[in-house]
Homo-oligomer: A and B are copies of this chain.
Amino acid sequence: MFGAEFEQLKSEGNKIIPIEANKVKIVSMEFLLDDKSKAIIWRGPMKIKALKQLIADVEWGELDFLIVDLPPGSSDEPLSIVQTIKDLDGMVVVTTPQQVSLLDITKSINFAEVTNTPILGIIENMSGFVCPHCGEITNIFKKDGGKKIADELLIDFLGAVPLIPAICVAGDAGKPAVLVDEESENIFNKIIEKLENKLNI
């Protein structure tokens, strides 16, 4: 989604040099593979060792933000992140609007509490679809579930990202949608503004 899929990580001394794409420095296990179609079949301990290296052993330079994009769950990955990054500003919880997903995010919120991780806010993804043919809205995965749970638990609601075909098209073309699609730019910028305010940046 950054147009960096054929890149390979290099090292200098004992530091990994991150890939730079669309002004963002990125590291990923993906960039260590010779053959991108190969699966990395590792159990937890191996995975976690690599995860820690991809944070601590990288020549990051001066960063505005360090963002770790995690899969759902409350096992090895988020646990290792909160243990590795000691001065973590917090966690952003992304959910889809329907009830089944909301059950999952109460677990993420509980994970944050147990590990003393601040929650910066909740984002509702796949939040409604505007038909480009007739302009009518369909809430394929319902609507406002993320907003409601944020209100209920007194967590900041950062915004809703609707289903926008341009996000998929841009991502597949290797360009983040915020750079090439005005609608996406507006939506994401509002979320970023709220996050910046929250972090006093």
Q: Is A114 an interface residue (CB 8 A)?
A: yes
Contact with B along A93-128 (1 / 0, CB 8 A): 000001110010011111100110000000000000
CA distance A48 to B47 in the complex (A): 15
Q: Is A23 an interface residue (CB 8 A)?
A: no
Oligomer: number of copies: 2
User: What residues on B are CB-neighbors of A165 within 8 Å?
Assistant: 138-141
Q: Which of A54-62, A68-76, A177-185 contacts B (4 or more CB under 8 A)?
A: A68-76
* Cβ-neighbour of A171 out of B71, B100, B106, B115 (below 8 A): B100
Q: Is A168 an interface residue (CB 8 A)?
A: yes
User: What residues on B are CB-neighbors of A109 within 8 Å?
Assistant: 37
Q: Which of A13-21, A38-46, A193-201 contacts B (4 or more CB under 8 A)?
A: A38-46
Q: Is A1 an interface residue (CB 8 A)?
A: yes
Query: A44, B41: Cβ atoms under 8 Å?
Result: no
